[in-house]
Amino acid sequence: MTGKKRDDGARYEEIADELRARIDSGQYAPGDRVPGENEIMTTFEVGRDTAWKALQVLRDQGLTETRQGAPTRVRKFERIVRPANKRLSREVWGDGKSMWSVDIVDKRPTPLDVEVQRVELDARIARMLGMEAGLPAVRRSRRYAIGAKPVMRAVSHIPADLADGTPIAEVDTGDGGIYGRLKDIGHAPTLFREEVRSRMPTKAEKDWLDIKRGTPVIEIIRYAAEESGRIVEVNEMILDSSSYVLEYVIPS
Amino acid sequence: MTGKKRDDGARYEEIADELRARIDSGQYAPGDRVPGENEIMTTFEVGRDTAWKALQVLRDQGLTETRQGAPTRVRKFERIVRPANKRLSREVWGDGKSMWSVDIVDKRPTPLDVEVQRVELDARIARMLGMEAGLPAVRRSRRYAIGAKPVMRAVSHIPADLADGTPIAEVDTGDGGIYGRLKDIGHAPTLFREEVRSRMPTKAEKDWLDIKRGTPVIEIIRYAAEESGRIVEVNEMILDSSSYVLEYVIPS
């Protein structure tokens, strides 16, 4: 059975790869029907199990979607551009989409479930902020959604000596958000550093983002530093990888 | 059976998440033994199947490794830092590791399997280069490895009118690589843009990178532009996500 399983594995992956290539190339456009189990069984000369698994790979990767009783279709969901350095992007590349891949649009996710707490820093976050563990901070967690689809979860920590008595400690931080309020009190961030990783989601992350088992997450840890070099915020973000493309512009 | 499967799914994922949390927190350090099937069966009060699946998740994610007949251990593989803007990183943050997570070291992967070809641009790459399809270009593909472990595959396209007659069209591009040679001929890139996505690997990508089924890849498309705005190179990179952390420094 292990022998059989392995062959099977290779075959359904090949079929999934072939179908993905057709989606990537635009042969199957968003909203188009993809071949069903029966069609795959005939075209690729495989059994129902293998056909089902191949389709499962596409669903798990967030490439297709199925509504109850309807055929499977290519997911209609344009990726969100996340331009890390908007100023640079606009200045240099303009708003021209000519250089962009076709699947990209400019969309702004809206916040959901904003939670604000006062916490004592644990060792990990304290290290990231360059502070002592146990010191007080404001923790802001929220999700962001496009329509009903959550696409990102973000958890920020801001030292309490900066956040206390400002809207940073309230649910609504006002126009310009956390960075706007830090600027108001003379602690504007002047430099950001982002660490980007990718991995499979935990169970909690799958629930937060409403993603399938086979969809990876992108993890971004963003450090915001003010002029003096002090870290004024650390933001840990978990993104649904199938919803995003990150953009970074880098001067040489 | 579907009902049972679902419960099972939730349970083995919970166990995998718990074990991953112990690895992330450093409770299980690189090289440490992780609990085996029997220990998981006792501790979590589950059957052998569930224990096996939980361990499989960790293996698939590249968090653990098993050598024939030996117990499963936490993978000893420090992530490669990929600083997108080295100059900025060094200038501003110095070489200080204090702000870094513990799993990061400075390592330089070595190139493998360099292949250089003259090609006619297909529509997709032509669009990325801002050129007409069918025009000639030099295509350079190579893999990069740390020791015996491949960690990245990269495919660059450079317009033939720039590359022809230079070491860019040869296997060894010399000190400073492609960008050094472009500089030599007065076409130094002055600005880079990177698009970053994450997804599950295709079968070919799994083979190139020697990764397990459950390990996502990071896809980076890097555009290099010279002063005039002309794109002088497009580089499509596929990274083993379990081997890398990307770093971007962004002035506000």
A85 CB within 8 Å of a chain B CB: yes
Structure letter (DSSP) for residue B89: I
Q: In what order do the strands lie in the sheet with A79-83?
A: A104-105, A79-83, A244-251, B189-199, B217-226, B231-240, B149-159, B136-146, B110-120
Nearest to B106 by CA among B78, B144, B76: B78
Q: Which token pair is B162?
A: 């720039």
Chain A nearest CA to B118, separation (Å): 23
B176-B182-B188 Cα angle (round to 5)? 95
Distance, CA of B216 to CA of A214 (rounded, Å): 9
B234-B221-A99 Cα angle (round to 5)? 70
Structural domains in chain A, CATH included, are: 11-74 (1.10.10.10), 80-247 (3.40.1410.10)
Residue A216 has a pLDDT of 93
Residue B9 has a pLDDT of 56
Pairwise pLDDT comparison (B107 vs A115), residue with the higher score? A115
Instruction: Select the residue of A14, A198, A202 nearest B203 (Cβ to Cβ).
Output: A14
Q: Which residues of B touch A250 (CB under 8 A)?
A: 84-85, 88, 191-194, 248
A199 CB within 8 Å of a chain B CB: yes
The percent of residues above 90 in pLDDT, for chain B, comes to 51
- CB pairs < 8 Å spanning A and B: 153
Q: Which residues of A touch B214 (CB under 8 A)?
A: 200
Residue B150 has pLDDT above 60, yes or no: yes
The percent of residues above 70 in pLDDT, for chain B, comes to 87
Residue A213 has a pLDDT of 73
Residue B250 to residue A246, Cβ atoms within 8 A: no
Nearest to A185 by CA among A194, A197, A173: A173
Three-state secondary structure call for residue B95: coil
Chain A nearest CA to B218, separation (Å): 7
Residue B8 has pLDDT above 80, yes or no: no
What's the mean pLDDT when you consider all of chain B?
A: 85
Contact A192, A225 (CB under 8 A): yes
Residue A198's closest chain B neighbor by CA? B241
Q: Which token pair is A55?
A: 């389709």
Chain A nearest CA to B189, separation (Å): 7
Chain A nearest CA to B152, separation (Å): 14
Residue A117 has a pLDDT of 97
Q: Is B177 left (phi over 0), alpha (psi -120 to 50) or beta?
A: left
Nearest to A189 by CA among A136, A232, A143: A232
Q: Which token pair is A192?
A: 């950001």
Chain B nearest CA to A195, separation (Å): 5
Nearest to B206 by CA among A45, A17, A89, A31: A17
Q: In the predicted model, what is the mean pLDDT of residues B52-66?
A: 85
> Which residue out of B197, B206, B212, B237 would a mutagenesis test of the A interface target, given it has the greatest number of A Cβ atoms within 10 Å?
B197
Rg (CA), chain A: 22
- Give Cα separations from B112 to A147, B153, B208 (angstroms): 45, 9, 11
Three-state secondary structure call for residue A106: coil
- Give Cα separations from A187 to A50, A165, A231, B139 (angstroms): 58, 14, 10, 48
pLDDT band at B88, cuts 50/70/90? low
A70-B5-B52 Cα angle (round to 5)? 135
Q: What is the pTM of this model?
A: 0.84
Contact B100, A231 (CB under 8 A): no
Residue with tokens 């007659």: B165
**Residues paired with residue A97 on neighbouring β-strands, in sequence order:** none
Q: In the predicted model, what is the mean pLDDT of residues B127-140?
A: 95
End-to-end CA distance of chain A: 55
> In sequence order, which ranges of B25-122 are alpha helices (DSSP H)?
37-44, 48-60, 86-88
Q: Which residues of B touch A99 (CB under 8 A)?
A: 128, 130, 193, 223, 231
A191 CB within 8 Å of a chain B CB: yes
Distance, CA of A60 to CA of A45 (rounded, Å): 23
Among the residue ranges A33-47, A96-110, B132-146, B165-179, the one predicted with the least confidence is: A96-110
Instruction: Select the residue of B14, B60, B196 nearest A196 (Cβ to Cβ).
Output: B196
Among the residue ranges A20-29, B32-41, B224-233, the one predicted with the least confidence is: A20-29
Residue B216 to residue A20, Cβ atoms within 8 A: no
Distance, CA of B213 to CA of B194 (rounded, Å): 26
- Give Cα separations from A65 to A55, A96, B17 (angstroms): 10, 30, 27
Angle in degrees, 0-180, between the axes of helices B2-24 and B37-44, rounded to the nearest 10 = 100
Q: Which residues of B touch A198 (CB under 8 A)?
A: 198, 216-218, 241
- Give Cα separations from A148 to A62, A144, B30 (angstroms): 16, 10, 40
pLDDT band at B86, cuts 50/70/90? low
Residue B146 has a pLDDT of 87
Q: What letter represents residue B237's amino acid?
A: M
pLDDT band at B149, cuts 50/70/90? confident
Distance, CA of A114 to CA of A45 (rounded, Å): 51
Contact A31, A73 (CB under 8 A): yes
Chain A nearest CA to B7, separation (Å): 13
Residue with tokens 């002309």: B230
Nearest to A90 by CA among A205, A251, A249: A249
A61 CB within 8 Å of a chain B CB: yes
Contact A128, B99 (CB under 8 A): yes
Q: In the predicted model, what is the mean pLDDT of residues B219-227?
A: 93
- The interface residues of chain B toward chain A in range 151-170, judged by CB-CB distance below 8 A, are none
Tens place of pLDDT for every residue, chain A, 252 residues? 333 444 445 899 899 999 988 988 888 988 899 999 999 999 999 999 999 999 988 887 778 887 777 888 998 777 777 777 765 555 554 444 434 333 345 567 888 899 999 999 998 899 999 999 999 999 999 999 988 889 999 999 999 999 999 999 999 998 888 999 999 999 999 888 899 999 888 888 989 999 877 889 999 999 999 999 899 999 999 999 988 989 898 887
- The interface residues of chain A toward chain B in range 87-126, judged by CB-CB distance below 8 A, are 87-89, 92-93, 98-99, 101
Residue B43 has pLDDT above 60, yes or no: yes
Residue with tokens 């360099």: B114
Residue B118 has pLDDT above 80, yes or no: yes
Three-state secondary structure call for residue A246: strand
Residue B49 has pLDDT above 50, yes or no: yes
